[in-house]
């Protein structure tokens, strides 16, 4: 199996109400989805699996960097996109992004976040 180009990673806890909209907004753009669950008491892990994500059970140690690193450690993508469960990706043709990621030697990118708040 070829290495996925783009992995989506999320750190979540009790996000069942928001997770489907988030993952559905990104599903066509990414090659894999890794959800790091930090102890949900709702149906978040089951929903994530149902939507095609690989769920990693994490112990929350009050450290977002450690949780992100744990997700990256199991992601297979050459590039990793982190978003929160309450964020959505705008619909787009991902071919330009994939071309850029496949050709560019940049160590990383930042993206614009537009918040309705």
Q: Of the candidates 54, 60, 48, which has an alpha carbon nearest to the alpha carbon of residue 22?
A: 48
> What are the 10-residue block averages of pLDDT along the chain, 117 residues in total?
76 97 94 97 98 96 95 93 92 81 77 74
pLDDT at res. 1: 43
Tell me whether strands 79-82 and 54-57 are parallel, antiparallel or unpaired: unpaired
Segment 41-50 long-range contacts (CB within 8 Å, at least 24 positions apart):
41/14, 42/14, 42/15, 42/16, 43/16, 44/12, 44/13, 44/14, 44/15, 44/16, 44/19, 47/16, 47/19, 47/20, 48/12, 48/19, 48/23
pTM of the model: 0.89
């Amino acid at each position: 199996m070829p290495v996925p180009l783009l992995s989506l990673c999320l750190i979540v806890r009790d996000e069942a109400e928001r997770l489907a909209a988030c993952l559905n907004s990104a599903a066509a753009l990414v090659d894999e989805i890794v959800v790091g669950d930090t102890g949900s008491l709702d149906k978040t892990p089951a929903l994530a699996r149902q939507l095609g994500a690989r769920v990693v059970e994490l112990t929350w140690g009050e450290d977002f960097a450690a949780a992100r690193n744990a997700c990256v450690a199991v992601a297979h993508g050459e590039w990793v996109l982190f978003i929160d469960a309450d964020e959505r990706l705008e619909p787009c043709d991902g071919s330009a992004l994939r071309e850029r990621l496949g050709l560019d030697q940049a160590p990383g990118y930042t993206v614009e976040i537009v918040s309705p708040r």
